[in-house]
C-alpha cells in the first residue's frame, strides 16, 4: 500500500508569475504549476486512499484463497500423477511414469500395489518408497535408487536392477526370480522369505544382508559377490546357486 502524503497548496498563479524572471519560460512554468494543482487535488482526494485499501484487501483475500485451496491443488497433482501411472499400465517405455512415481513418493504417497511391469524406469529415484506388493516384473530399473524402500511381497521377477542402489531395502517375501542384480548395492537388505532362483547377483554388494531365510536360490549366479556375510556363499552353493563368470554383460 502506498503512503499518502497530503501536498501543500501551490502558490497562486500571480505569485508564481512574479517569481519568473524570463518571459520565455512562462509556458513551462504554467505547465508545471498546473500539474502541481492536479497533484495537490489528488493528494487530498480520500477516494484514492479507499482504492488503495481495497487493492491491499484484495491481495490479502487472494493469499487466503491460495493457501486454503493448496490441499485441492496437491490432490489434483496426485490424481494426474496416478493417471499417468495407471494409463500406462502394461505398456513398455516410460510414459511419464518416472516423473509421476517420483512426485508421488516425494509427497509421501504410498505406492503400494503399483503395477509398472515391463516399464522403462532407468534411473528412477524412489528412496524410502512404500512399494509393498508392487509389480515390477520385467521392468528396466537399471541405475536406479531405492534406498530404504519397502518391496515386501513385491513381484520383481525378471526385473533389471543392474547397478541400482538397494541398500537397506526390505525384500521380505519378494519374488526376485530371474532378476538381474548385477553390480547392485544390496547392503543391509532384508531377503527374508525372498525367492532368488535364477537371479544374477554377479558382483553385487551383500554387506550385512539378512539371508538366512531365503526360500529359493537355486541356479542363482553369485559369482564375485562382494562383502558376503560369513557362511552365505557356502550355503548358497549347497542350495543350488552357481558361481559362473559370464564376463561383462551390458543390456541392450
Give tens-digit pLDDT for 27-57.
777 777 777 777 766 666 665 566 666 676 6
- pLDDT at residue 132 above 70? yes
Q: In whole numbers, what is the pLDDT of the chain averaged over residues?
A: 86
105 in the same domain as 28: no
Reported confidence tier of residue 7, pLDDT bands at 50, 70, 90 = low
What's the pLDDT at 6? Answer: 59
Q: Are residues 112 and 63 in the same domain?
A: no
Considering the domain architecture, whether residues 49 and 143 belong to the same structural domain is answered as: no
Domain ends where: 53, 68, 83?
68
Q: What is the mean pLDDT of residues 15-21?
A: 70
Give the domain range for residue 55: 13-68
Does 79 fall in a domain? no
The 3 state secondary structure assigned to the chain is: CCCCCCCCCCCCHHHHHHHCCCHHHHHHHHHHHHHHHHHHHHHCCHHHHHHHHHHHHHHHHHHHHHHHCHHHHHHHHHHHHHHHHHHCCCCCCCCCHHHHHHHHHHCCCCCCCCECCCCECCCCECCCCECCCCECCCCECCCCECCCCECCCCECCCCECCCCECCCCECCCCECCCCECCCCECCCCECCCCECCCCECCCCECCCCECCCCCECCCCECCCCECCCCCHHHHHHHCCCECCCCCCCCCC
| Same domain as 230, residue 117 | yes
Q: Assess whether pLDDT exceeds 70 at residue 250.
A: no
Residue 251 has pLDDT above 50, yes or no: no
Kindly state the average pLDDT of the residues 222-249. 92
pLDDT for the residue 50: 61
- The whole-number pLDDT of residue 35 equals 77
Same domain, yes or no, for 203 and 237?
A: yes
Per-residue model confidence as pLDDT tens digits over 153-165: 999 999 999 999 9
- Express as a percent the part of the chain with pLDDT over 70: 78
Task: Choose between 103 and 25: higher pLDDT.
Answer: 103
Instruction: Give the pLDDT score at 36.
Output: 77
127 pLDDT higher than 60: yes
Q: What is the structure's pLDDT at 149?
A: 98
Domain count, the chain: 2
Q: Mark whether 63 and 95 lie in a shared domain.
A: no
- pLDDT exceeds cutoff 90 at 15: no
Q: What is the CATH number of the domain that holds 197?
A: 2.160.20.80
Query: Are 223 and 102 members of one domain?
Result: yes
118 and 60 in a common domain: no
Look at residue 96 and tell me if it is in a domain: yes
- Residues 76-124 have pLDDT tens digits of 889 899 999 988 776 677 778 999 999 999 999 999 999 999 999 999 9
80 in any annotated domain: no
Span of 78-92, 128-142, 200-214 with lowest mean pLDDT: 78-92
Residue 223 lies in a domain: yes
Specify if 57 maps to a domain: yes
Q: What is the mean pLDDT of residues 224-231?
A: 97
If asked whether residues 98 and 169 sit together in one domain, one would say yes
Give pLDDT, residue 95. Answer: 76
Q: Output the pLDDT for position 252.
A: 43
Query: Which of 58-62, 65-69, 111-115 shows the lowest per-residue confidence on average (mean pLDDT)?
Result: 65-69
Kindly state whether residue 77 falls inside one of the protein's structural domains.
no
Amino acid at each position: 500500500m502506498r503512503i499518502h502524503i497530503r501536498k501543500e497548496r501551490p502558490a497562486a498563479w500571480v505569485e508564481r508569475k512574479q517569481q519568473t524572471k524570463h518571459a520565455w519560460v512562462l509556458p513551462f512554468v504554467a505547465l508545471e504549476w498546473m500539474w502541481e494543482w492536479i497533484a495537490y487535488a489528488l493528494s487530498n482526494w480520500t477516494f484514492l486512499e479507499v482504492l488503495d485499501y481495497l487493492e491491499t484487501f484484495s491481495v490479502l483475500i487472494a493469499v487466503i484463497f491460495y493457501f486454503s485451496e493448496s490441499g485441492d491443488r496437491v490432490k489434483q497433482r496426485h490424481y494426474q500423477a496416478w493417471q499417468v501411472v495407471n494409463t500406462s499400465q502394461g505398456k513398455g517405455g516410460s510414459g511419464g511414469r518416472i516423473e509421476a512415481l517420483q512426485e508421488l513418493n516425494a509427497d509421501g504417497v504410498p505406492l503400494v500395489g503399483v503395477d509398472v511391469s515391463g516399464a522403462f524406469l532407468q534411473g528412477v529415484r524412489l528412496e524410502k518408497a512404500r512399494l509393498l506388493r508392487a509389480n515390477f516384473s520385467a521392468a528396466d530399473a537399471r541405475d536406479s535408487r531405492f534406498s530404504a524402500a519397502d518391496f515386501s511381497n513385491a513381484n520383481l521377477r525378471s526385473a533389471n536392477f543392474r547397478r541400482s542402489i538397494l541398500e537397506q531395502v526390505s525384500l521380505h517375501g519378494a519374488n526376485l526370480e530371474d532378476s538381474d542384480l548385477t553390480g547392485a548395492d544390496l547392503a543391509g537388505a532384508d531377503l527374508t522369505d525372498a525367492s532368488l532362483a535364477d537371479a544374477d547377483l554377479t558382483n553385487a554388494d551383500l554387506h550385512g544382508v539378512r539371508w538366512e531365510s531365503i526360500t529359493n536360490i537355486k541356479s542363482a549366479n553369485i559369482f564375485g559377490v562382494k562383502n558376503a556375510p560369513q557362511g552365505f556363499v557356502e550355503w548358497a552353493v549347497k542350495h543350488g546357486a552357481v558361481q559362473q563368470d559370464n564376463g561383462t554383460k551390458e543390456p541392450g
